[in-house]
């Protein structure tokens, strides 16, 4: 056991605090090359990460940077600075602590490069930028430790891949660098450990006492939830009562639009005018910060929020978490529950509110999983190549490099341990020349090979553009919303696609207010106040999570029971009735119901593959039906089923579900699909084919560029095997298209398809008829819509032909 310096143990003692066992373990193992700490929220995780640093710096003999702290949120870096500076000052330790994020001033950043602090707190993007400077070796000289906070969150996106490539670079500069990861509870700690450690170094895993089991249950509700939809307005009185009965409540939602609607409904019922705020990623930063500050002061009784509060700073006295809508993913539920009672060894309290009838089943399945500590999650794929391309360019900014050495360095990053030399060379070729099948001219070269074989930037000035565009976060298609008039107050942001659907006079909700769309002024959406009680349009943005594979499986298993005594009667009767008239879906089989309704033939496919995959399945199956002359007219998808309607009843489903044929259909359909274009835009931006920021055009950038769709169409036509097209296909397959889960379903089912023909709609299928998001089947749909709209406009204007 390594002891801590007296100055630190004394400080603990004067506060009557004890060093937690996991904190001591981190001190004991501080010499190891990589250690991952898994601890619940409020477990003194950050202190556990920093204690070894404080111990090593206590003697005051270290010169320059000693510890780098990386977190996913700028706010977290600032918060840690505050929380660490306090104890360090009180202990009288000679340690300088500074943060460096996108918000840090230019002069301060310059000074930090010349004279780095002992502890630097930063984000993955700011770190990547630091490694791009020619003087990186000098900046990082002496660096001993790196602490990656909330590594479980970083691992869920490309930011994690970016960070690990940056660490590989740092390790080259500082061979003795030791890595520490701090994580919330996750389903597969080994995977995070492999990502964190330098490949093939081992990584020790320290697990803190998880604390007492949380107190989780369904919120008691007298009324049955509606058959479809996600608003949960029926639960407002009980949620309001729960808010009143607790000090501070976090009310989590799955999408921003739902949060907005719920927030508005809550205020309409807020007879006591309790202070209730709203927080989500579309709100203006100043607005969000205001809510955060009020929360920290303890001024708010409740916050209606989304994933934007999944992470982050200590929220003081939250004593209740309410989850509206099925959690879709047990791990996220557990992490959200951890937001309540941010104190060690006190149970967190959480209540679930299903938004519709099927979510009652989903919520119960999630409760069972949470109580059984059965976490879910998708395995991390290999490191994406668009991020690798970006890091090749970042490396070139810092100076000439030898291809073999850079390849060797990059494969020490966990996510890229399996990267082949051929893949690397493809990426290098893309960075150097664009990688087009048509050999481009010299002037296309971004990198060139010197006589000594090293690669360097052809034009050193291009380093500036590369540095301006570092990062993997995609937020380029958001438009600011402001009140009309000079100095109009900013309200937040909406997706460009949503803005495009608005016409003057339309009303929508943002920041809990109903506003009226007035027009688009350059890149700002201008709105006016509106006194209406109900917005005309309420949907904008926000992620629609698909129910995880594990949770879907648990629901299927649950449906096999003879009875469900724990379910409320309305839901229990519903399931029994379905079993009576049809049959319930079973694991290892695929149930399809075929029935007439409203003069159309319907087929309901219970794939339980999650929303994205069920949507893709709908597109592919209707395409096959079209080919087979089955005249499909449209479909709608939920997390558990796809409902298709058309003119001809389905009698022989087997040919429709031939996985080979489905996959073959995928290629043709994918090519022109909006999902692909969206995925392409993201990858092309990360790989720096498209630059979001250009010197001097930061403001007018939108006008200066043209749609990435044109680049996609051009590549599809002339160069379909281009690296970026390959990256796009791979991304879409595991992302929005989620074909992997369709394949998984096909493997699970192995041709065991049960077609059940009925004379009317079944209880489980009925809510599907109410679902929004119906997709018409016709390739010419867009053209036809446009023509109808044009005709209507001309008629309205009273002009036909000039």
Dihedrals phi, psi of 457, to nearest 5 degrees: -65, 135
Facing residues of 205 across strands? Answer: 36
H helix runs in 457-527, sequence order: 462-468, 496-500
Is the Cβ of residue 405 or residue 440 nearer to other proteins in the bound state?
A: 440
State how far the alpha carbon of 684 is from the alpha carbons of 431, 543, 678, in Å.
12, 21, 10
Closest CA to 50 of 114, 131, 120, 106: 120
Query: Helix count (H) and strand count (E) of the chain?
Result: 30, 26
Determine, following the binding rule CB under 8 A, whether residue 434 of this chain makes contact with other proteins.
yes
Is the Cβ of residue 294 or residue 711 nearer to other proteins in the bound state?
A: 711
Is the Cβ of residue 275 or residue 505 nearer to other proteins in the bound state?
A: 505
Strands 642-646 and 632-637: antiparallel
Determine, following the binding rule CB under 8 A, whether residue 446 of this chain makes contact with other proteins.
yes
In the complex, minimum distance from the CB of residue 786 to other proteins, in angstroms, rounded to a whole number: 4
Binding footprint of other proteins, residue count (CB under 8 A): 55
Greatest Cα pair distance in the chain: 90
Q: Which residue shows structure tokens 């993007």? A: 125
Orientation angle between helical segments 723-734 and 739-749, nearest 10 degrees? 50
Determine, following the binding rule CB under 8 A, whether residue 220 of this chain makes contact with other proteins.
no
CB 600 within 8 A of CB 646: yes
DSSP code at position 493: E
Closest CA to 737 of 674, 684, 681: 674
Strands 320-324 and 349-353: parallel
Determine, following the binding rule CB under 8 A, whether residue 512 of this chain makes contact with other proteins.
no
Determine, following the binding rule CB under 8 A, whether residue 790 of this chain makes contact with other proteins.
yes
In the complex, minimum distance from the CB of residue 486 to other proteins, in angstroms, rounded to a whole number: 13
Is the Cβ of residue 498 or residue 739 nearer to other proteins in the bound state?
A: 498
Is the Cβ of residue 493 or residue 526 nearer to other proteins in the bound state?
A: 526
Is the Cβ of residue 129 or residue 393 nearer to other proteins in the bound state?
A: 393
Which residue among 663, 719, 744, 771 contacts other proteins (CB under 8 A)? 719
Q: Which residue shows structure tokens 């209606």? A: 304
Window contacting other proteins (CB under 8 A); options: 289-297, 310-318, 502-510, 611-619 = 502-510
CB 318 within 8 A of CB 299: no
The interface mask with other proteins, positions 731-770, x = CB under 8 A, is ----------------------------------------
In the complex, minimum distance from the CB of residue 780 to other proteins, in angstroms, rounded to a whole number: 8
CB 352 within 8 A of CB 360: no
The interface mask with other proteins, positions 451-470, x = CB under 8 A, is -------xx--x--x-----
Is the Cβ of residue 561 or residue 793 nearer to other proteins in the bound state?
A: 793
The interface mask with other proteins, positions 525-564, x = CB under 8 A, is ---x------------------------------------
In the complex, minimum distance from the CB of residue 314 to other proteins, in angstroms, rounded to a whole number: 43
Separation CA 109–CA 117 (nearest Å): 11
Separation CA 64–CA 83 (nearest Å): 22
Q: Which of residues 239-258 bind other proteins (CB under 8 A)?
A: none
Which residue among 701, 705, 734, 756 contacts other proteins (CB under 8 A)? 705
Window contacting other proteins (CB under 8 A); options: 47-55, 200-208, 428-436, 761-769 = 428-436
3-class DSSP state of 36: strand
Separation CA 170–CA 713 (nearest Å): 39
Facing residues of 642 across strands? Answer: 605, 637
In the complex, minimum distance from the CB of residue 130 to other proteins, in angstroms, rounded to a whole number: 22
Burial string for 38-59 (b: 16+ CB within 10 Å, else e) reads bbbbbbbbbbbbbbbbbbbbbe
CB 182 within 8 A of CB 23: no
Q: Which of residues 769-788 bind other proteins (CB under 8 A)?
A: 782-783, 785-787
Which residue among 223, 440, 561, 577 contacts other proteins (CB under 8 A)? 440
Burial string for 781-796 (b: 16+ CB within 10 Å, else e) reads eeeeeeeeeeeeeeee
3-class DSSP state of 250: strand
In the complex, minimum distance from the CB of residue 422 to other proteins, in angstroms, rounded to a whole number: 21
In the complex, minimum distance from the CB of residue 443 to other proteins, in angstroms, rounded to a whole number: 5
Window contacting other proteins (CB under 8 A); options: 108-116, 197-205, 405-413, 431-439 = 431-439
Separation CA 208–CA 189 (nearest Å): 13
Is the Cβ of residue 29 or residue 458 nearer to other proteins in the bound state?
A: 458
Determine, following the binding rule CB under 8 A, whether residue 664 of this chain makes contact with other proteins.
no
Which residue among 408, 633, 711, 769 contacts other proteins (CB under 8 A)? 711
Window contacting other proteins (CB under 8 A); options: 153-161, 288-296, 655-663, 789-797 = 789-797
Window contacting other proteins (CB under 8 A); options: 204-212, 278-286, 383-391, 699-707 = 699-707
Whether omega before 777 lies within 30 degrees of 0, making that bond cis, reads no
Determine, following the binding rule CB under 8 A, whether residue 706 of this chain makes contact with other proteins.
yes
Which residue among 715, 732, 737, 765 contacts other proteins (CB under 8 A)? 715
In the complex, minimum distance from the CB of residue 482 to other proteins, in angstroms, rounded to a whole number: 15
Is the Cβ of residue 31 or residue 797 nearer to other proteins in the bound state?
A: 797
CB 644 within 8 A of CB 692: no
In the complex, minimum distance from the CB of residue 674 to other proteins, in angstroms, rounded to a whole number: 10
Contacts of residue 476, defined as CB under 8 A and 6 or more positions apart, other chains included, come to 681, 685, 692
CB 227 within 8 A of CB 768: no
In the complex, minimum distance from the CB of residue 750 to other proteins, in angstroms, rounded to a whole number: 42
Write out the residues near other proteins by the rule CB under 8 A: 433-434, 436, 438, 440-441, 443-444, 446, 458-459, 462, 465, 500-501, 503-506, 516, 518-520, 528, 689-691, 694, 703-707, 710-711, 714-715, 717-719, 722, 782-783, 785-787, 789-790, 793-794, 796-797, 799, 801-802
């Amino acid at each position: 056991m390594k002891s801590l310096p007296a100055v630190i143990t004394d400080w603990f003692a004067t506060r009557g605090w004890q060093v937690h066992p996991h904190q001591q373990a981190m001190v004991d193992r501080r010499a190891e090359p990589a250690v991952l700490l898994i601890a619940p929220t409020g477990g003194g995780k950050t202190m556990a990460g920093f204690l070894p640093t404080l111990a090593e710096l206590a003697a005051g003999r270290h010169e320059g940077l000693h510890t780098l702290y990386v977190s996913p949120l700028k706010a977290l870096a600032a918060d840690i600075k505050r929380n660490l500076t306090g104890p360090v000052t009180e202990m009288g330790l000679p340690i300088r602590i500074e943060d460096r994020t996108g918000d840090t001033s230019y002069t301060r950043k310059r000074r930090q490069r010349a004279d780095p602090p002992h502890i630097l707190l930063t984000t993955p993007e700011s770190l990547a930028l630091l490694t791009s400077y020619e003087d990186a070796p000098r900046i990082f000289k002496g660096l001993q430790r790196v602490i990656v906070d909330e590594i479980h969150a970083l691992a869920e996106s490309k930011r994690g891949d970016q960070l690990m490539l940056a660490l590989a670079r740092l390790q080259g500069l500082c061979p003795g660098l030791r890595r520490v990861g701090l994580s919330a509870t996750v389903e597969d700690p080994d995977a995070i450990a492999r990502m964190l450690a330098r490949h093939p170094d081992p990584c020790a895993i320290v697990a803190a006492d998880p604390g007492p089991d949380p107190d989780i249950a369904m919120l008691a509700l007298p009324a049955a939830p509606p058959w479809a939809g996600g608003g949960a307005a029926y639960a407002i009185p009980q949620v309001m009562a729960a808010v009143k009965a607790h000090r501070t409540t976090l009310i989590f939602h799955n999408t921003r639009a739902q949060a907005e609607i719920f927030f508005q409904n809550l205020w309409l019922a807020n007879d006591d005018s309790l202070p209730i705020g709203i927080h989500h990623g579309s709100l203006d930063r100043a607005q969000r910060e205001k809510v955060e500050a009020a929360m920290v002061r303890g001024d708010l009784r409740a916050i209606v929020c989304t994933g934007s509060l999944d992470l982050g700073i200590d929220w003081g006295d939250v004593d209740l978490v309410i989850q509206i809508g099925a959690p879709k993913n047990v791990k996220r539920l557990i992490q959200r529950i951890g937001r309540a009672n941010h104190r060690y060894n006190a149970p967190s309290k959480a209540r679930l509110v299903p938004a519709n009838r099927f979510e009652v089943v989903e919520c119960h399945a999630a409760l069972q999983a949470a109580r059984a500590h059965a976490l879910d999650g998708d395995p991390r794929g290999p490191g994406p190549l668009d991020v690798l391309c970006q890091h090749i360019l970042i490396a070139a900014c810092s100076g000439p490099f030898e291809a073999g050495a850079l390849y060797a360095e990059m494969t020490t990053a966990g996510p890229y341990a399996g990267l082949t030399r051929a893949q690397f060379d493809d990426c290098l070729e893309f960075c150097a020349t664009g990688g087009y099948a048509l050999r481009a001219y010299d002037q296309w070269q971004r990198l060139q090979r010197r006589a000594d074989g090293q690669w360097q930037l052809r034009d050193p000035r291009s380093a500036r553009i590369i540095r301006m565009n570092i990062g993997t976060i995609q937020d380029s298609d958001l438009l600011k919303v402001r009140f009309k008039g000079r100095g109009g107050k900013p309200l937040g942001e909406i997706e460009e696609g949503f803005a495009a659907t608005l016409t003057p006079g339309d009303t929508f909700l943002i920041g809990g207010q109903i506003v009226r769309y007035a027009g688009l002024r350059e890149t700002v959406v201008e709105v006016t106040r509106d006194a209406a009680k109900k917005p005309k349009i309420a949907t904008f943005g926000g992620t629609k999570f698909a129910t995880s594979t594990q949770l879907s499986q648990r629901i299927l298993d649950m449906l096999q029971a003879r009875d469900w005594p724990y379910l409320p009667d309305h839901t229990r009767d519903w399931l029994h009735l379905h079993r009576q008239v049809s049959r319930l879906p079973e694991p290892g089989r695929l149930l399809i119901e075929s029935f007439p309704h409203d003069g159309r033939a319907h087929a309901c496919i219970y794939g339980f593959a999650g929303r994205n995959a069920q949507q893709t399945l709908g597109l592919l199956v209707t395409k096959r039906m079209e080919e087979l002359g089955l005249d499909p007219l449209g479909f709608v998808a939920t997390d558990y089923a796809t409902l298709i309607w058309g003119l001809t009843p389905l009698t022989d489903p087997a040919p429709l579900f031939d996985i080979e044929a489905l996959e073959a259909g995928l290629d043709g359909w994918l090519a022109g699909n909006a999902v692909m274009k969206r995925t392409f835009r993201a990858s092309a931006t990360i790989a720096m084919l498209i630059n979001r920021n250009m010197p001097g055009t930061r403001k007018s950038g939108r006008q200066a560029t043209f749609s990435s769709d044109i680049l996609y169409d051009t590549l599809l036509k002339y160069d379909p095997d281009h690296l970026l097209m390959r990256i796009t296909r791979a991304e879409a397959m595991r992302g929005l298209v989620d074909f992997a889960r369709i394949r998984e379903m096909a493997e699970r089912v192995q041709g065991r398809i049960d077609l059940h023909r009925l004379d009317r709609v079944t209880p489980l299928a009925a809510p599907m008829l109410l679902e929004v998001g119906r997709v018409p089947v016709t390739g010419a749909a867009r053209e036809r819509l446009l023509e109808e709209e044009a005709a209507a406009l001309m008629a309205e204007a009273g002009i036909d032909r000039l």
